[in-house]
């Protein structure tokens, strides 16, 4: 983990087990989807899109999400729930609730489970891209083939002549740089400013 293309652990909306299913997998799976719209009026409700491009609604049976105003069920101002459009929602053990009568299926987060839902502060596409990079690094670490190198110029520790000649980004703890110049370039020109918080969130959710 996190191998976001693995449908067992990261199913798309259509691959989710139905809420009515008598037996659910024991091992935790995660639905990841990008927030498109916060439709909250009373019950927190989001329109999200999964990696296959399907849009669906996610509702929270209680207002107990850590990003939610605890009074939001009685005192909601649109957009004040802490859910930001364009960010990515991570829902552990999500199930698909079919509503019949030609109504679209939804994902309902049951009361007591909202606190497990996480938000990665970035678009789904970025989350998938960073997830693939992190998974690749973990695989290399497992096989002992990882070569630490500067994320910008590619200089390795051996090139630097001594161990720990590279310093890691204090934000995500993953990106390494040979110099202050490379770090600044990585942050400003090569997009680490946006990637850093996404990497940090992914590593916190799947340590
Ligand atoms: Zn460098
Ligand atoms: Zn970073």
Q: Which two tokens stand for residue 173?
A: 């703890």
Of the ligands numbered here, which is closest to the C-alpha atom of 178?
A: 1
Which ligand is nearest to the Cα of residue 177, counting in written order? 1
Ligand at minimal distance from the CA of 201 is 2
Average pLDDT (116-135) is 94
Residues with CB under 5 A from ligand 2 (ion): 169, 171-172, 175, 196
Q: Which ligand is nearest to the CA of 199?
A: 2
User: 156 C-alpha vs ligand 1 centroid, how far in Å?
Assistant: 9
Average pLDDT over residues 109-132: 92
* Structure confidence at residue 72 (pLDDT): 39
The pLDDT confidence band at residue 76, using thresholds 50, 70 and 90, is: very low
Mean pLDDT for 29-45 is 91
What domains does the chain contain, in order, with CATH numbers? 1-123 (2.40.50.140), 147-205 (no CATH)
pLDDT digits (tens, 9 = 90+) for 148-204: 899 999 998 776 556 667 899 999 999 999 999 999 999 999 999 999 999 999 999
| Residue 158 CA to its chain's centroid (Å) | 34
Using the mean position of ligand 2's atoms as its centre, give its distance from the Cα of residue 160 in Å: 21
Query: Which distant-in-sequence residues (6+ apart) come within 8 Å of 125 by Cβ?
Result: none
Q: What's the 104 CA to ligand 2 centre distance in angstroms?
A: 39
Q: Which of 163, 159, 171, 167 is nearest to 195 (CA)?
A: 171
CA 196 – ligand 2 centroid, Å = 4
Which comes out higher in pLDDT, residue 134 or 114?
134
Across 66-79, average pLDDT:
41
Residue 48 has pLDDT above 60, yes or no: yes
Could you say which ligand is closest to the alpha carbon of residue 202? 2
What is the mean pLDDT of the segment spanning 99-124? 90
Alpha helices in 12-163 (DSSP H): 124-143, 157-160
pLDDT of residue 77: 41
Residue whose C-alpha is closest to residue 108's, from 18, 36, 23, 168: 18
pLDDT value of residue 159? 67
pLDDT above 80: residue 108 = yes
Length of the chain: 207
Q: Is the pLDDT of residue 125 over 90?
A: yes
Helix and strand totals (H; E) in the chain: 4, 8
Residue 65 has pLDDT above 70, yes or no: no
Return mean pLDDT, the chain. 87
CA of 125 to the centre of ligand 2 (A): 18
Cα separation values, 39 from 7, 60, 147, 186, Å: 28, 12, 46, 37
Closest ligand to residue 197's CA: 2
Q: Which ligand is nearest to the CA of 151?
A: 1
């Amino acid at each position: 983990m996190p191998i976001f293309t693995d449908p067992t652990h990261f199913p798309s909306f259509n691959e989710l087990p139905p809420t009515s299913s008598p037996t659910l997998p024991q091992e935790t799976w995660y639905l990841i989807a990008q927030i498109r719209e916060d439709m909250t009026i009373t019950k927190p409700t989001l329109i999200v899109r999964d990696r296959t491009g399907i849009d669906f609604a996610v509702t929270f049976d209680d207002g107990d999400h850590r990003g939610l105003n605890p009074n939001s069920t009685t005192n909601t101002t649109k957009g004040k729930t802490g859910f930001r459009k364009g960010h990515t929602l991570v829902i552990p053990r999500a199930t698909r609730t079919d509503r019949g009568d030609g109504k679209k299926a939804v994902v309902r987060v049951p009361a007591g489970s909202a606190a497990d839902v996480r938000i990665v502060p970035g678009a789904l596409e970025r989350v998938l891209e960073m997830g693939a990079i992190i998974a690749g690094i973990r695989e290399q670490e497992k096989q002992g083939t990882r070569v630490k190198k500067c994320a910008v110029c590619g200089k390795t520790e051996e090139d630097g002549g001594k161990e720990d000649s590279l310093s890691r980004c204090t934000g995500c703890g993953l990106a390494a740089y040979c110099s202050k110049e490379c770090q600044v370039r990585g942050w400003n020109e090569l997009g680490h400013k946006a990637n850093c918080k996404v990497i940090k969130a992914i590593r916190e959710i799947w340590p």
